[in-house]
Amino acid sequence: MKDFTSTPPPVKHIAEPTVRRLSGYLRFLEAFDVEGHETISSGELARAGGTTSAQVRKDLSFFGSFGKRGLGYAVKDLIASLREILGLDTRWPVVIVGAGKIGAALAQYRGFGTHGFDVVGIYDTDPSRVGTRLNGVTVRADRDLEGDIATLTPRIAVLCVPGEAAQAALDRVVGAGIRAVLNFAPTSLVAPEGVTVRAVNMATELEVLAYALTNESRD
């Protein structure tokens, strides 16, 4: 007798690096699928993701067993499983706070939509930006933020405001019920327990590179 579930193990706590890698596997598999491949081995997946085959198998093993011994993984099935694991079997409404250079660029980024995220609102304090359209969504005044969050119920906010305004923006979206935030402002933010904040910080990325270049004596 076979069982029905495709994701058996009762998931405990998964390390963030693992989740990041899963996302990377998914990205690669989508391209691999388009190229017409039917199956893939943990070794191939590892090479593409810059890791090892054992790591790939261990990452997946936290959530179930998805492969066939001797064969590898069915590409389409693994894509579906990863989507489910990452919570991408629903679409996620997102608000963008700040319609400056970065906010505008993000709003127009197509990959947003194709990966399961819908921009349902963009907000700015600058009256000259309010009312303009970005990729089909009209920029609204920041005073509409709380009301819109209540009615549109986005689960994720992307902050693209200047550093000085970032903490205030975070406090507002959190106050309105948002519990997951992606912060593009170059400031580290303090959030209450239960709110996940991820930061994308240009300066930090460049500094990590500068450090690597300065210390290239690691063999």
Partner DNA sequence: AGTACCTTGTGAAGGATTTCACAAGCACCC
Partner DNA sequence: GGGTGCTTGTGAAATCCTTCACAAGGTACT
Q: Would you tell me how many other CB atoms lie within 10 Å of the CB of residue 114?
A: 9
- The entry of DNA, a second copy, none that residue 218 binds, CB within 5 to 8 Å by partner kind: a second copy
Residues 6+ apart with CB under 8 A from 34: none
* CB nearer DNA, residue 65 or residue 153: 65
CA 172, distance to chain mean position in Å, is 21
Helical packing angle, 42-49 and 16-34, nearest 10°: 110
Binders in 33-72 for DNA, by CB under 7 A: 41-43, 51-55, 57-58, 60-61, 65-72
Residue 134: what are its φ and ψ, rounded to 5°? -130, 110
- The entry of DNA, a second copy, none that residue 117 binds, CB within 5 to 8 Å by partner kind: a second copy
* CB nearer DNA, residue 54 or residue 206: 54
The distance of closest approach from Cβ of residue 14 to DNA in the complex, given in angstroms and rounded to an integer, is 8
What's the one-letter identity of residue 219? D
Find out whether 85 and 7 touch, Cβ atoms under 8 Å. yes
Find out whether 197 and 156 touch, Cβ atoms under 8 Å. no
- The entry of DNA, a second copy, none that residue 11 binds, CB within 5 to 8 Å by partner kind: a second copy
The distance of closest approach from Cβ of residue 1 to DNA in the complex, given in angstroms and rounded to an integer, is 14
Residue 199: what are its φ and ψ, rounded to 5°? -115, 135
Q: Which pair of structure tokens corresponds to residue 204?
A: 């930090």
The distance of closest approach from Cβ of residue 101 to a second copy in the complex, given in angstroms and rounded to an integer, is 4
| Binding residues vs a second copy (CB under 8 A) | 11, 13-14, 16, 19-20, 23-24, 26-28, 31, 47-50, 85-88, 92, 94, 101-102, 104-106, 108-109, 111-112, 115-117, 155-156, 163, 179-182, 186-188, 190, 194, 196, 198, 200-216, 218
Find out whether 9 and 63 touch, Cβ atoms under 8 Å. yes
- The entry of DNA, a second copy, none that residue 24 binds, CB within 5 to 8 Å by partner kind: a second copy
Residues that bind DNA (CB under 7 A): 13, 15-18, 41-43, 51-55, 57-58, 60-61, 65-73
